[in-house]
Chain A
């Protein structure tokens, strides 16, 4: 197993290199020169040149030990992402944004999984009934409605009209107060797709011979569902759940923006808008690393839940 993990971790090297190369090409070669924008209005060529020097944009792109790409690579490997365009160290920005993003995304993630898996089990159990059909209709409707509509609707009715929650962040509110509504919206918007997916997974299992055998042996419904069906449905659940974890780090752009939560989703989009290459580079790199790590964890989990999977 250790050899397997080492081998998988070695695979990450070309992946990370590819990510770094891609971000570099996209923002350096395609994105254009940021120095003119930083220089301000009517800046002279000398000022623009000085900015290029400060940000290392006057160095060769590839073919040198001190090239822009090598420096980009070095900063990623040492986790020294430098300072953002507003002169704040990039790592400080990420540390500050990670808390609010996770405070929002972890409850949404956990809540969505618990509710969707439970509902899927129940619906799979009630398949063919009116409850099953109703749930499928609601799920499809939920998936069809744009995410933004849930936010606008929730904010207008639950917060503004009915006063059940604050409309927006305020310094005198606790985190629980200003994140409660976005968490609820995040969970509700995610349920449609998740419930449908898990229902399909559960239904596949419910049709299996071992389920009929279990019922024939006289096992209780609860035992069949939770002990047998759920355990056998774990492979697709793990794939979906574990691989979703790295994206929690990226936060939710729309929820953060509409509810004033200063998380990483907001940070990333702003960085793209203002071409803050240093922030984009750091966020992309960290996301890529997390994704690769969680991919390995997913594989390990497969073996843990399914004895048929081996590392050979």
Chain B
């Protein structure tokens, strides 16, 4: 190689090395100066640092539909009823209502009185900037707003075909030019306010689940002044009556709520379930809520930074990433010694959900071939899925009613669906007879394209191929998947269903023939027997008879097998010891007001980290 003169000049080489080392040293020094720099944190302020695993849509409870948006909104807005924080099974208690409703003998009229002296948070939308008193008409306005078709609320399913006159009001809004041109003063037969503190709801037919939906954040009252003042921007200007109000919303980064000084007197419960006193959940009984000054949610969508933030004490609670599960939880499902040394607590939450492998019953191959569907159910190794994908933490599903529900059948393990490859082979022979030859290749559709979903799809495929079926996989984004479900274009598909309220009806509706696609019955399952049971049970108040009907309905579905019940999710949440009163709640609306932090313990943990 040609070398020009001067290349052996050592002083140049030294200069070169010095230049590079100076640049890298400077970069490291800048980095090193970062962690120790002073911050604006007030050590004595009671702040909860929580994580939000996804961005939220906003703070308008009528317009938003995601679970995370609803959780945050429920700290700012309140409903007529709420779930008792400690008691299990989940029990409704009044929140903005004075007491439980007066229900007419025919179960068609609900009269609810609301508490007096409840004020909205101060906001410039009100005439003098001071929050005004809550009135019954604020509820009616909020519900009519959801009915307004121009408002495009995804929550209309709550009220559709339920309240006298509300569907007609929705029809009227179709003729309005825009969402703000609707006349909300129009009277509705089924929603009346005889005075400022009374709401009368008249139903088209008995609807016992109404009570749960009156505890569901989208039904929270809204001040019309706020809607008029902020227009479409109300999604980022929440004005509620709840314990907190919005301080900062940095979309994509964090949400900060601060105590609402107008919040009424509400106290920590003095009763709970067995074991709550021993576990310290009643130590704050009778204390005024909320117990903290501020809640700060960091939006962290990746698992590694969430986990590292938690371990560094920057988050008070966290889920366990799949790859770190073994570091936190021992094979005996206990905390590892490392976690115990850090005084970390484990909270297990059994979610009210079921994951299915569904069949399109209108598909010519599957719909007329019950042995084929049953063979797939028997051929699916559910325990293998939880072991391979969910660290053995999730529960195997034998039926679609999750264990936390009253209607959960204690004998379901004996009579429900289960993995039985031998039986699957026998059933497959019957299926081939019905089909009249070798079964064609079946198509399994997955509504996600991430790595784990693809791996899970491969696992599903393998299970079914092991019993002799040929499976073709297809992966697509969720919206396209939904479109395919709604147009009945899938053959076999993977879906989950999570309860919105603790009534088994929420699961039964997904098998009701009148809810076929584009409704939630994506299986397009139609059974006269099931429909009769459903129609009878759905209007009944809670009773042993209704529970029995729910179980019969489940058994009918399991026998017909429009879906394979696969798993019920179990979440493992870790909490630092300074986060008090953290009790798992599967309907986590308005729960942060009960939680507290011990800033001394948090500081001690930071010292522990410094010592290594």
Contact = CB atoms under 8 A, between A and B. Distances in A.
Given A88-B251, A167-B314, A42 B152 contact: no
A258 B304 contact: yes
Interface in B279-309: 296, 298-302, 304-305, 308-309
Given A262-B251, A273-B477, A215 B4 contact: yes
Contact of A40 (B65, B149, B150, B477): B65
Contacts of A83: 232
Interface string A247-275: 00000000001111110001100100111
Interface in A59-83: 83
- Give the size category of A's interface with B: 35 or more
Contacts of B477: 273, 275
B88 to A, nearest CB: 27
A33 B480 CA distance: 8
Interface string B536-565: 000000000000000000000000000000
B174 A212 contact: no
B329 interface: no
Given A87-B232, A87-B235, A172-B39, A39 B154 contact: yes
Nearest to B41: A172
B502 interface: no
Contacts of B154: 38-41, 43
A180 B31 contact: yes
Contacts of B65: 40
Interface stretch (A3-11, A16-24, A150-158, A286-294): A150-158
B1 A171 contact: no
Interface in B468-512: 477-480, 482-483, 486
- Give the size category of B's interface with A: 35 or more
A63 to B, nearest CB: 24
Interface stretch (B5-13, B118-126, B380-388, B394-402): B5-13
B575 to A, nearest CB: 19
Interface stretch (B107-115, B201-209, B252-260, B591-599): B252-260
Contacts of A144: none
A37 B263 CA distance: 36
Given A44-B160, A127-B1, A32 B253 contact: no
Contacts of B23: 114-115, 118
Contacts of B160: 42, 44
B476 to A, nearest CB: 9
Contact of A180 (B9, B34, B251, B304): B34
Given A40-B157, A83-B232, A86-B57, A174 B37 contact: yes
Given A40-B154, A187-B27, A88 B235 contact: yes
A142 interface: no
A168 interface: yes
B302 A257 contact: yes
Nearest to B255: A171
Contact of B518 (A43, A111, A127, A152): A43
Nearest to A128: B1
Interface string A167-190: 111111110111011001001000
B152 A167 contact: no
B520 A42 contact: yes
B414 interface: no
Contacts of A257: 301-302
Contacts of B16: 122, 125-126
B355 interface: no
Nearest to B69: A86
A1 B372 CA distance: 75
A176 B299 contact: no
A215 B31 contact: no
A43 B6 contact: no
Given A86-B235, A165-B34, A180-B31, A260 B157 contact: no
B311 interface: yes
Contact of B302 (A34, A41, A258): A258
Contacts of A96: 251
B149 A88 contact: no
Contact of B308 (A51, A119, A159, A261): A159
A41 B421 CA distance: 35
Contact of B314 (A47, A168, A211, A212): A168
15 contacts: A40-B155, A42-B518, A43-B156, A47-B156, A50-B152, A96-B251, A160-B308, A166-B35, A169-B253, A177-B37, A180-B30, A215-B4, A260-B300, A262-B253, A270-B55
Interface of A: 31-34, 36-48, 50-51, 54, 83, 86-88, 93, 96-97, 111, 114-115, 118-119, 122, 125-128, 131, 152, 155-156, 158-160, 163-174, 176-178, 180-181, 184, 187, 206-207, 211-212, 215-216, 221-222, 224, 257-262, 266-267, 270, 273-275
Give me the 7 closest cross-chain CB pairs, A-B, nearest first: A40-B154, A262-B252, A122-B16, A172-B39, A37-B479, A160-B308, A172-B40
Given A184-B30, A221-B12, 8 more contacts: A34-B479, A42-B160, A118-B23, A128-B3, A165-B34, A168-B298, A216-B5, A260-B253
